[in-house]
Structures are given as C-alpha cells and as structure tokens.
C-alpha cells in the first residue's frame, strides 16, 4: 500500500492498494475511491472486539475495502481541522492514542482498548480512562486535532501536559496525573486542578487544538434559544 497525505487545514490521505489488498476503516471514513474498491462491513472478529471498539470511541462495526481486479485507490478526509499522521506498527512498536483518533489502517493492524493503569489518570487527566491501542503489523492513520508537536522522551524524562493536548504516544510511555500546586492556582489560574504527566522512554505527539477546547471557546457565542 502506498499513500499520500495532502491538504491543510482539513487534510486527506489518498491510498493506492495492490490487487486484492485490503484496508480497515472507521464507519463513514471513506471520502472517494476507484470503482473497483469492494466494501464489506463486519464486526471485525469477536463480539468482544466489537464492544472494545465501541468503548474506545469508535463504531462497533468496521468497513473493509479491497481492491478487486487490479490496483485501487481510496481516500479518507479529516473531519476536523488538524493533521492526519501515519504510524508504522510492528511487534516492537505499538501506539496509544486518544479516543476516536482512528481513521484507517492496513488489515494487519489491530485496535484494542487501552485502560489507564491508574484510575486517577483517566478520571482527571483529560485524556479519558479509555484510550485506543494499535498493535500488529502495518500502517495506521490517525486523525489528530490542530498542529502536531512531537517530543522524544528518554527513560525517566517527563512532560506535563494540559487537559486534552495529548494526542498519541508510544506504548512504552507511562501516563499519570499531577495536581496543580496551590489552592489559589487551582481556583483562579484557569488551568484546572490537574495536569497530565507522561514519562519516557518513547515519543509523544501533542495537539495544539483539541476539539474539546474549540467547543468550549465557541460555546459562549452560540445562542441556546433561551
């Protein structure tokens, strides 16, 4: 499979598949394709896997697109201003990402639930108690919000992140929460009560415009009709 990511601020990834090569996608992710791309819809394996996808922010069902009779082309466009990032997954490299990040992948990539090891990190850290984990072999395309900044953390090196800005990380990176120091800072600082702490080794990808922050910024300007 060959691919090209084009466009900004609403990018699209255009994939060229060999004959009989397949891709898995989230429901409704396809934007355009060549006529020889055949679609099938299934639960992607067991009922447990279907519920796993649902709890990680995706649909219970997956669409499988296969090139029939020759090479095929299929495109997946972003649904929110940001970036589409491609990650190569293999036995030594797995990725954990925010809920609803999944856009499409090679057929050899598996998505599962990633539970925060410490309940507080999920409850207060802003990334959610459940995230998405990608393993197996192949390429996965993730839809992330705003511009993406990449940091590589050495073993034991940490970074503090405000709520919602953690987009993805290597599975080797650990995540926890840290309380903002000082009651005055908590109440009047405008940064909330907690920050997310990520600790290496591994890479982290931070997003500059979380969808939740955008929603909060525009909410006062939207009439409720009252």
- The full set of domain ranges for the chain reads 2-213
- For 29-76, the pLDDT digits (tens) are 999 999 999 999 986 655 455 555 555 445 667 899 999 999 999 999
- Asked if residues 178 and 158 have their Cβ atoms less than 8 Å apart, the reply is no
- The H-assigned helical ranges of the chain are 47-55, 119-124, 183-188, 211-218
β strands within the chain, DSSP E: 2-6, 12-17, 22-25, 30-33, 37-42, 62-67, 72-77, 82-89, 95-97, 102-106, 109-115, 130-136, 138-145, 148-153, 158-161, 166-170, 174-179, 194-199, 202-207
Please say whether the beta carbons of 132 and 113 come within 8 A.
yes
Residue 198 and residue 158 in contact, taking contact as beta carbons nearer than 8 Å: yes
222 vs 3, more confident: 3
In this prediction, what percent of the chain has a pLDDT beyond 90?
A: 57
Handedness of CA 219, 183, 195, 125 (dihedral sign): negative
Do 87 and 116 touch, CB atoms closer than 8 A?
A: no
* CATH architecture of the domain formed by 2-213: 4-Layer Sandwich (3.60)
Range scoring the smallest mean pLDDT among 25-34, 70-79, 117-126, 168-177: 117-126
How much is the average pLDDT of 101-127? 73
């Amino acid at each position: 499979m060959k691919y090209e990511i084009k466009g900004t601020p609403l990018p699209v990834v255009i994939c060229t598949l060999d004959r009989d090569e397949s891709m898995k996608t989230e429901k409704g992710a396809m934007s355009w394709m060549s006529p020889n791309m055949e679609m099938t819809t299934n639960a992607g394996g067991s009922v447990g896997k279907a519920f796993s996808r649902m709890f990680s922010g995706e649909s219970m069902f997956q669409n499988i697109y296969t090139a029939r009779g020759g090479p095929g082309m299929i495109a997946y466009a972003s649904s929110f201003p940001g970036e589409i990032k491609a990650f190569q997954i293999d036995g030594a490299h797995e990725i954990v990402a925010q809920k609803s990040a999944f856009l499409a992948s090679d057929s050899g990539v598996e998505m599962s639930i990633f539970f925060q090891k410490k309940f507080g990190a999920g409850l207060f850290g802003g990334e959610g108690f459940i995230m998405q984990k990608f393993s197996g072999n192949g390429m996965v395309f993730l839809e992330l919000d705003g511009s993406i900044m990449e940091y590589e953390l050495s073993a034991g090196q940490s970074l503090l992140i405000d709520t919602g800005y953690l987009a993805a990380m290597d599975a080797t990176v650990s995540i926890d929460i840290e309380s903002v120091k000082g009651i005055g800072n908590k109440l009047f600082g405008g940064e909330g009560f907690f920050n997310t702490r990520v600790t290496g080794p591994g890479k982290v990808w931070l997003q500059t415009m979380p969808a939740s922050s955008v929603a909060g910024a525009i909410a006062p300007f939207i009439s409720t009709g009252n």
